[in-house]
Amino acid sequence: MSATGQGRVPHVPVMLADVLDVLQPRDGGIYVDGTFGAGGYTRAILGAADCAVLAIDRDPNAILRGRELATEFAGRLTLIEGRFGDMEQLVRALGHDAVDGVVLDIGVSSMQLDEAERGFSFQQDGPLDMRMSAEGPSAADVVNGFDEGDLARIIAVYGEERRARAVARAIVKAREEAELHRTLELADLVAKVNGRKPQDKIHPATRTFQALRIFVNDELGELARGLSGAEALLGEGGRLAVVAFHSLEDRIVKRFLTERTGRAGRANRYMPASEEVVPSFSEIAHRARKASGAEVETNARARSAKLRAAIRTAAPALPLDMGALGFRAVPSLDGISHAGGAA
């Protein structure tokens, strides 16, 4: 549920009660909200205890909107414009060596979807952008600049779209006439390729838009780096809560915690074969929590949400091994050649 521009409708983040139950905010504690967004988790944490929150968001609009909340909780909320994947550096730069809790809500925010000019939604016309900040290539740059094979890989891997090759072929054919620069142009094109049956629960362009958004913002790489940063920052007994909405994201969180809790054995290739794995986290629960039926009824976004949580041990943090998290087959901006030039 998104807030209005004037904040008349309060933003209620997914699985809020569960996140608070995991974090257990305490007086004097320091907590990191790595995906500030509309500030729902931050407000709840600050309201639960006399603590401080370091709130990170790469979207300058989110930071701007957060100033009112910072005024309300003067001296207790620090807004940081940046990527949560750089969490460790951002937090240490403020003089904090350790924190008591970290919460991450992965993916695009409902407010970003509501803003047609951001280009995230296939239900509203807007520029084909999808960037969470103004940096780097846009979705339009990708669909107009990458060859058919690379587009198909992006859409297949990040969108898990079974007709990725057909979608990529249609994009390449369409841009021979004119480049694609509007969201509805692309949505209509993909819908024609995939078709739409009455029993379909999602729009036929959903997976393609998801793939482009994840790729443009390096969301999965950001998630891996953010988890590693949280591991480095959390003090002994510190608590980690991660809410994911898609299997790609949840898979990374699950693999990370499986390795860090010692259930995977020697999964990290940087550890010597003879060295015993000392868990850097202990699980709060083996299985992910899901939103209650009552919450799903009032907030459709909660339907696919999964919350995974863990408690930091005294063991040292492990080096980040992207391969162990399943990144070997994932395309990247650095590794894919453009249609008109070198990689």
Same domain, 94 and 148: no
Same domain, 191 and 46: no
* pLDDT confidence of residue 265: 60
Same domain, 83 and 98: yes
Same domain, 240 and 210: no
Same domain, 99 and 237: yes
Per-residue pLDDT tens digits for 152-174:
999 999 999 999 999 999 999 99
Same domain, 205 and 229: no
* pLDDT confidence of residue 50: 98
Same domain, 65 and 210: no
Domains of the chain: total: 2
Per-residue pLDDT tens digits for 87-136:
999 999 999 999 999 999 996 655 545 554 444 555 677 888 888 777 78
- CATH number of the domain at 190, please: 1.10.150.170
Question: Domain range spanning residue 185?
Answer: 124-217
* pLDDT confidence of residue 208: 94
Q: Which residues of the chain have pLDDT under 50?
A: 1-9, 112, 116-119, 274, 335-343
Same domain, 199 and 130: yes
* pLDDT confidence of residue 129: 87
Q: What is the pTM of this model?
A: 0.86
Same domain, 179 and 106: no
Does residue 26 belong to any structural domain of this protein?
A: yes
Same domain, 151 and 230: no
Same domain, 228 and 321: yes
* pLDDT confidence of residue 319: 93
Distance CA 260, CA 44 (A): 28
Does residue 202 belong to any structural domain of this protein?
A: yes
- CATH number of the domain at 240, please: 3.40.50.150
Same domain, 187 and 275: no
